[in-house]
Structure 1
């Protein structure tokens, strides 16, 4: 199977709370959920955002929602103090979710 960008099979919904971003990846078709669950691991998401995450901070967490074909990732500390305090350009959930859709599966 050829690698395909995540955006070809899923979309995102995001949220921010304090310095934590929450990214949900939702399959367009429920039949693609097993592929998401297999390939979109905590390790891959952590590696993808390694430059933005605090290596000594809390780990990325993944929650599985197979009934709706979704995975939810919680990224503590990635917002560096929160959207209104961060000097990072576009480091809030919507930008992070859009960036994650470029990941090759």
Structure 2
């Protein structure tokens, strides 16, 4: 199943660092995602874009995770609207990750 069936996502950026939040649709899926959605798995899935470390922060109180992806925005934000320098499309790319059903 796709991650998007269990969670939704938002992104933010600061310089060349991107953060992607993954928020469970249902809190009962938090522990399952905690087991399968590791930093290594996220980095492998986004390997063509993320060239630095991926750190996962766990937020069990709101059934969410925050992934901080280093060296992920090709040097940082640009003024051109033709590029996704803010990394907003990467949340959709992450939601396309295949995960085991809970």
TM range (shorter): 0.7 to 0.9
Q: CA deviation at 1:53?
A: 2.2
TM-score (norm 2): 0.88
Q: Distance in 2 between matches of 1:101 and 1:77?
A: 20
Q: 4+ runs of 1 displaced by more than 2 Å?
A: 88-93
Q: Secondary structure at the match of 2:88?
A: helix
Q: Distance in 1 between matches of 2:85 and 2:29?
A: 28
Q: What's 1:11 paired with?
A: 8
Q: Distance in 1 between matches of 2:39 and 2:2?
A: 17
Q: Secondary structure at the match of 1:82?
A: coil
TM-score (norm 1): 0.85
Q: Residue 23 of structure 1 contacts residue 93 of structure 1 at CA under 8 Å; is this kept in 2?
A: no
Say what the alpha-carbon RMSD is for the aligned residues.
1.7
Q: Distance in 2 between matches of 1:91 and 1:41?
A: 24
Q: How many residues align?
A: 98
Q: Does the alignment pair 1:42 with 2:39? A: yes
Unaligned runs of 5+ residues in structure 1 are: none
Unaligned runs of 5+ residues in structure 2 are: none
